[in-house]
């Protein structure tokens, strides 16, 4: 009790200041962020010249880094925010933008690209040129969250249209796009792919979480549209995905490990982002779906936030229970490995979402898993359920509100005058860095502000779900592999060998040190036969190694899509 009292006293002065700083930031930054989003959407956005109608550019930055492309993930998250604004009646001017997005996505789904065609894995292609032609350069592909996020954005719109009496437009135009995306999720959720930061090819918590959501709400929509057999298929796979989702939990250190591969700590903004983008205000503090106020999500948030306390100079001197600047993951080195506006905003948003639910249910539950999170604010708090009539409830609620505001206050502090939001700000001095006017930074700011004001989007059916007692694999995953023989014609000198490496786990994720040695039994043809995941596109190259020196084949990367079943032979020749 005494500890809590002292804490409240010591913070009271700065808290009042902080809350009004955040109020002022919300007031000044909201219109800038909204305009920043719209400026980056074609055809008439002021910073997106050349983008087709409905196309979201990631950022107008064309060098160091060049982000003048459209990513399915970023675009879908941005349009989910706009569709929420429209369907909640907050901005009735957005209809044309949204319909443009629908048309753009219908078109881009059909564009053949290095991940495949619309029916052979092309929906997993992460990014396109802003005229919607395929991007054919090297990239971390496929990324399997994009189709799920696009389905979720469009399902939100479709549900509103049906309620508005416009089922015909849903059936003719929106539902066909959603069906393609959910078909992709059904067949590919159980295969590896690159994570949301485009670096690690494995299974990723964010991807699995958004896939689950899309299938669950897709089943409800399929039912509403009278397609009971698709509804059943989606629901069956949603149950399987929900089962798999539980496996990311680290029961020793109490957080969701973000990726199954990659050799990192697994502490990553991935989890806060998963929580806010699968928030269902009707689902309470359910841990199975990782709701923002669930014990597992709060514990993961603490573990993630704490990972940045000592590594960024901008966080030095900040109390160990106060907000800090956060980045993607502590091991990040991209552009120097800095804090990001959108990850710091995501932490605030998760906490506001939690407060929304506590406000609704009138109680806060502290479990052995969330105890460390709550003890940051009151060292004497114990496991239990605290009703809104108790001082523990009001003290904890106020402390979490202060903590949440702290993250927005950090973003406010490092937002340059003028209000433009880049991708990152310097870990050493807070100067804005990397791509300017990042659309996702603006959208993340708007959704965090909305959550602070208690705005909630529609429920997606996360309430009361039961995890199956044993996990099943999906139709396109698990045991589904095909036999692929690689033949490479290459003359070599004595001591020299030919190896294979490529973009998927089974091809060693482009590693040269663990690249697969081919057999010279049929020299000068070198060969290897591998079991690879079915219906999967990948890139690969052969390399030579002699005396520790590695020589790559010349560009471009080679490309192949495995069949759904059976086997294939690939005949290549050194180039
Ligand atoms: C249905 O929605 C589409 C897309 O916004 C619109 O073009 C059409 O006029 C709407 N139809 C009705 C009957 O509201
Ligand atoms: C496929 O699903 C099974 C069952 O949940 C799981 O054990 C396995 O790790 C999954 N693999 C991938 C790549 O998703
Ligand atoms: C801030 O840090 C960045 C690198 O993180 C550096 O490039 C820049 O010069 C620094 N600015 C100031 C004003 O110190
Ligand atoms: C929660 O309730 C408090 C007290 O009614 C209110 O001030 C606050 O804005 C609410 N917060 C959210 C995020 O709904
Ligand atoms: C590899 O090293 C051996 C021993 O030093 C040498 O004889 C040989 O020429 C080297 N081969 C190549 C291709 O450099
Ligand atoms: C690959 O080469 C083998 C041996 O030369 C040949 O039998 C086979 O038909 C070729 N396959 C393809 C797909 O070109």
Q: How confident is the model at residue 172 (pLDDT cuts 50, 70, 90)?
A: very high
Q: How far is CA 175 from CA 102, 148, 181, 381, 550, in A?
A: 10, 14, 10, 49, 49
Lowest mean pLDDT among 59-68, 150-159, 321-330, 563-572: 563-572
Q: Give the architecture (CATH level 2) of 43-247.
A: Alpha/alpha barrel (1.50)
**Distance (Å) from CA 389 to ligand 4 centroid:** 15
Q: Whose CA is nearest to atom 1 of ligand 6?
A: 571
At 233-244, the pLDDT tens digits run 999 999 999 999
Q: How confident is the model at residue 365 (pLDDT cuts 50, 70, 90)?
A: very high
- Alpha helix (H) ranges present in 140-253? 146-163, 167-169, 175-188, 205-224, 228-246
195 is catalytic: yes
pLDDT at 509: 82
pLDDT at 508: 85
Structure tokens at 302: 């603490």
Q: How confident is the model at residue 14 (pLDDT cuts 50, 70, 90)?
A: low
Domains 43-247 and 258-457 share a fold: yes
**Distance (Å) from CA 468 to ligand 2 centroid:** 14
Measured CA to CA, the distance from residue 499 to residue 79 in angstroms comes to 44
Check whether 401 has a pLDDT greater than 80. Answer: yes
> Any binding-site annotation on 139?
yes
Q: How confident is the model at residue 565 (pLDDT cuts 50, 70, 90)?
A: confident
Measured CA to CA, the distance from residue 295 to residue 361 in angstroms comes to 15
Q: Domain limits of the chain? A: 43-247, 258-457, 481-573
At 38-92, the pLDDT tens digits run 999 999 999 999 999 999 999 999 999 999 999 999 999 999 999 999 999 999 9
What is the residue-averaged pLDDT of the chain? 94
Q: How confident is the model at residue 537 (pLDDT cuts 50, 70, 90)?
A: confident
At 269-302, the pLDDT tens digits run 999 999 999 999 999 999 999 999 999 999 999 9
Check whether 4 has a pLDDT greater than 60. Answer: no
pLDDT at 15: 56
pTM score of the predicted model: 0.83
At 416-428, the pLDDT tens digits run 999 999 999 999 9
CB-ligand 6 contact for 428 (6 Å cutoff): no
Q: Whose CA is nearest to atom 14 of ligand 1?
A: 166
With a Cβ cut-off of 6 Å, ligand 1 is lined by 95, 99, 166, 169
405 is catalytic: no
CA triplet 250, 255, 258: central angle to 5 degrees? 85
pLDDT at 479: 58
**Fold of the domain spanning 258-457:** Glycosyltransferase (1.50.10)
pLDDT at 1: 31
Q: Which of 84, 195, 217, 553 is catalytic?
A: 195
Listed residue (352, 339, 359, 351) closest to 415, CA to CA? 339
Using DSSP's 3-state secondary structure scheme, residue 514 falls into coil
Q: Which of 198, 199, 306, 496 is catalytic?
A: 198
Q: How confident is the model at residue 16 (pLDDT cuts 50, 70, 90)?
A: low
At 128-152, the pLDDT tens digits run 999 999 999 999 999 999 999 999 9
pLDDT at 511: 86
DSSP per position, 298-312? HHHHHHHHHTTTTT-
Q: Give the architecture (CATH level 2) of 481-573.
A: Sandwich (2.60)
At 190-221, the pLDDT tens digits run 999 999 999 999 999 999 999 999 999 999 99
Query: Given the structure tokens 């700011």, which residue do they identify?
Result: 445
pLDDT at 436: 98
pLDDT at 538: 87
């Amino acid at each position: 009790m005494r500890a809590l009292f002292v804490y409240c006293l010591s913070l009271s002065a700065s808290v009042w200041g902080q809350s009004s700083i955040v109020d002022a930031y919300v007031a000044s930054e909201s219109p800038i962020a909204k305009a920043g989003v719209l400026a980056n959407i074609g055809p008439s956005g002021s910073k997106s010249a050349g983008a087709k109608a409905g196309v979201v550019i990631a950022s107008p930055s064309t060098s160091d880094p060049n982000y003048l492309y459209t990513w399915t993930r970023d675009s879908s998250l941005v349009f989910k925010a706009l569709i929420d604004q429209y369907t909640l009646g907050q901005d009735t001017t957005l209809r044309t933008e949204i319909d443009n997005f629908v048309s753009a996505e219908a078109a881009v789904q059909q564009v053949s690209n290095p991940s495949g065609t619309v029916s052979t894995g092309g929906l997993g292609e992460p990014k396109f040129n802003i005229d919607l032609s395929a991007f054919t350069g090297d990239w971390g592909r496929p990324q399997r969250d994009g189709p799920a996020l696009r389905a979720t954005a469009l399902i939100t719109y479709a549900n509103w249209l049906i309620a508005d009496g416009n089922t015909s437009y849903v059936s003719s135009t929106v539902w066909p796009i959603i069906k393609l995306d959910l078909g992709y999720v059904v067949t590919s959720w159980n295969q590896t792919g690159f994570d949301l930061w485009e670096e690690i090819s494995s299974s990723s918590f964010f991807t699995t979480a958004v896939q689950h959501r899309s299938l669950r709400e897709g089943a409800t929509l399929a039912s509403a549209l009278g397609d009971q057999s698709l509804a059943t298929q989606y629901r069956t796979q949603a149950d399987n995905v929900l089962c798999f989702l539980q496996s990311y939990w680290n029961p020793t250190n109490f957080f969701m490990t973000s990726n199954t591969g990659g050799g990192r700590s697994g502490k990553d903004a991935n989890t806060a982002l998963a929580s806010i983008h699968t928030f269902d205000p009707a689902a309470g503090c359910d841990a199975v779906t990782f709701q923002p106020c669930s014990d597992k999500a709060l514990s993961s948030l603490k573990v993630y936030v704490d990972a940045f306390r000592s590594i960024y100079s901008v966080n030095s001197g900040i109390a160990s229970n106060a907000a800090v600047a956060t980045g993607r993951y502590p091991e990040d080195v991209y552009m120097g490995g800095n804090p990001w506006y959108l990850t710091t905003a995501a932490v605030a948003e998760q906490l506001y979402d939690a407060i929304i639910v506590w406000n609704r249910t009138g109680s806060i539950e502290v479990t052995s898993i969330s105890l460390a999170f709550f003890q940051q604010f009151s060292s004497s708090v114990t496991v239990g359920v605290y009703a809104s009539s108790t001082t523990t409830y009001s003290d904890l609620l106020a402390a979490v509100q202060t903590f949440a505001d702290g993250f927005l206050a950090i973003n406010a502090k490092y937002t340059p005058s003028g209000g433009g939001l880049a991708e990152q700000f310097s870990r050493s001095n807070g100067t804005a860095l990397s791509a300017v006017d990042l659309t996702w930074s603006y959208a993340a700011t708007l959704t965090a502000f909305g959550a602070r004001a208690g705005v909630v989007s529609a429920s997606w059916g996360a309430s009361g779900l039961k995890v199956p007692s044993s996990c099943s694999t999906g139709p396109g995953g698990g045991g589904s592999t095909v036999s692929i023989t690689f033949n490479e014609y290459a003359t070599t000198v004595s001591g020299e060998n030919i190896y294979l490496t490529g973009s998927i786990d089974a091809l060693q994720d482009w590693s040269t040190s663990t690249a697969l040695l081919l057999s010279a039994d049929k020299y000068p043809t070198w060969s290897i036969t591998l079991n690879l995941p079915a219906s999967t596109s990948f890139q690969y190259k052969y390399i030579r190694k002699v005396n520790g020196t590695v020589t790559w084949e010349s560009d471009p990367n080679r490309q192949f899509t495995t069949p759904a079943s059976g086997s294939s032979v690939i005949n290549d020749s050194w180039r």
